[in-house]
Amino acid sequence: MVLFDLACWCWLVLVDGVGIFAPASIMRVAIGVVLGGQFLVFALTNWQARTGRSGSFSTFLSDGGNVWPR
């Protein structure tokens, strides 16, 4: 979903000619930030459920393979 939102933002800015600081553009960036944050939260929750321990966010990010769900 984040990639789709990024593609929509690129289309909005590059094809439709909307300015980067226009309200529609800022809204698209905000949606991307929220979706990316939710992706990380759900990946952390999935990792904690799989490992059976309540590790910290930095421990989770220390191994890049933890980010993608299995």
* pLDDT averaged per 10 residues in sequence order, the chain, 70 residues: 86 89 90 91 90 87 78
Cα angle value 19/20/21 (rounded, 5°)? 90
Per-residue b or e along 15-26, where b marks 16 or more CB atoms closer than 10 Å to that residue's CB: eeebeeeeeebe
Q: Give residue 34's pLDDT.
A: 94
Give pLDDT, residue 33: 92
Residue 30's pLDDT is 93
DSSP run (H or E) holding 49:
helix 23-51
